[in-house]
A and B are shown apart, each in its own frame.
Chain A
Amino acid sequence: MASIQIEQNETRAVVRLNEPLTSAFAAELRPRLQEVVATGTTQLAIDLSSVDLVDSAGIGLLIAARNSLAKVGGTMRIIGVSAEIQHLFKVMRLDRHFQIEGIQGVGSPS
């Protein structure tokens, strides 16, 4: 399975990741996300269903994508987030940057 799968339909896009979102993978993903935003996407969803770890480099990349989208009036959601990553996002205050949906749907892990 490819590390990055992109479904793009006019202004909507879903980017599915199949590797831990850490420094090496973030470097590979960065230009792909830039391309998605540059080609007119304003509603972006990043699917982390197959991702078991995100580090600060991955967090930085997600915020950079959100910043780029905000400049064109777009929005971003992170979906399929595991309980541990959801907890990380919460304590790092990322819920102020974008909507975060757990594997079970919107909400925080218990």
Chain B
Amino acid sequence: MKCSTALRLKIPSTLAAIEQLCERARLWLEANGLHEDWFVFMLLLRESLNNAVKHGNGSDPSLLVDCWLRKGLRWLYISVGDCGAGFDWGRFSTHQACYGDTCGRGLEIYRLYADKVIFNRRGNRVLLRLEMRKGKDSGLNSNRAE
């Protein structure tokens, strides 16, 4: 059976809906034979969904989060958008949580694990790109990780 290389879903802004979407994404990854990319892909997907649900839509279940996933020839793509006012993505490149902070690490995970991160002008949609592992040693973005 041929599997789709793209998946698009819209969910209400709840933690339960994130879990359901991630289960769909897991099945999509399996159907596309992307077992080696599972950890990094799911980590980035969850971070982007958390940001959209909590910070973008303020956990308001009436507001939707729009998510699409795509497998290209070399890259995997995650795009997540919300209905919020957006955020100041200019601080993306430098933001780092301080010692003891219990939040504020999502953007750093983008930087460490995605090969490319693009925000729309308003700052309420992110596109994350990661290279498929297949034979590579590490799923971590070696240019930025250490």
Contact = CB atoms under 8 A, between A and B. Distances in A.
Contacts of A23: 15, 18, 46, 50, 54
A101 to B, nearest CB: 19
Nearest to B111: A91
Interface residues of B, number: 27
Contacts of A53: 39, 42-43, 46
Contacts, number: 60
Nearest to A87: B140
A34 B42 CA distance: 28
Interface in B99-118: 99-103, 105-106, 108-109, 112
Contacts of B43: 53, 55, 88
A45 interface: no
Interface of A is mostly: helix
Contacts of B112: 91-92
**Sorted from nearest, which 6 A-B pairs have the closest CB atoms?**
A24-B15, A56-B105, A60-B102, A56-B106, A64-B102, A55-B46
Interface of B: 15-16, 18-19, 22, 39, 42-43, 46-47, 50, 54, 99-103, 105-106, 108-109, 112, 138-140, 145-146
